Chains A and B, each alone.
Chain A
């Protein structure tokens, strides 16, 4: 079964810190790796996505790093703010499908 493993389960940082969330996958049959942000009572919202032929992608304060040989990718949040406090999910899209395979989530808390 295709899986995406995510860590840590929870993360606490001070405002301005750089939280890093890591994900790993177990087969090579994925062609997109998006990250979603979810606030309590809301559905997930797309933050940023990367293809496996790219090693890094930056959008605003959010950066994805991708290591194809290690089958790992990570999300970095620069200059984190209290408003970034949410649950973050990595995901992967299998080849020839449109469905998302989600990680288990990381609950981020940013304190002022």
Chain B
């Protein structure tokens, strides 16, 4: 079956522009996660949804970052007034939820470059 898809795969933004990154999770997956992966580093947690409810946004680095999942399926990560330090790969993951929270299925990521 289809895995997690993300779009766009690559995004170049000028400093100060707003960007929106989309994630289509695996159908039926209750939980959805966003991670940020800097070059040569491990992914870092940003935020987590269970259905449409955002249960944890403790990893969002500033109030310029906003995520939503209005119908409990597709999610969008928005970054306002992008800065150079926002350059990274943004990974989306989904899971069934329940007893195995570590079984997260990742998309290929969106590589954001801020110039």
Interface residues of A (CB under 8 A from B): 6, 32, 34, 41-46, 49, 89, 91, 93, 97-105
CA distance A41 to B106 in the complex (A): 12
State whether the Cβ of B1 lies closer than 8 Å to any Cβ in chain A. no
Q: A43-B106, A91-B102 are in contact. List 16 more A-B contacts (CB 8 A).
A: A6-B42, A43-B108, A43-B109, A44-B106, A45-B105, A97-B101, A98-B101, A99-B45, A99-B101, A100-B33, A100-B43, A100-B45, A102-B43, A102-B44, A105-B40, A105-B42
**What is the interface size of chain B, counting residues whose CB is below 8 A from a CB of the partner?**
27
Sampled A-B contacts (11; CB under 8 Å): A43-B4, A44-B106, A46-B105, A49-B102, A89-B43, A97-B101, A98-B33, A98-B97, A98-B101, A100-B104, A102-B35
Partner pick for A99 among B33, B42, B108, B109, CB 8 A cutoff: B33
| Across-interface contacts of B40 in A (CB, < 8 A) | 105
With most chain A CB atoms within 10 A of its CB, the pick from B41, B101, B102, B106 is B102
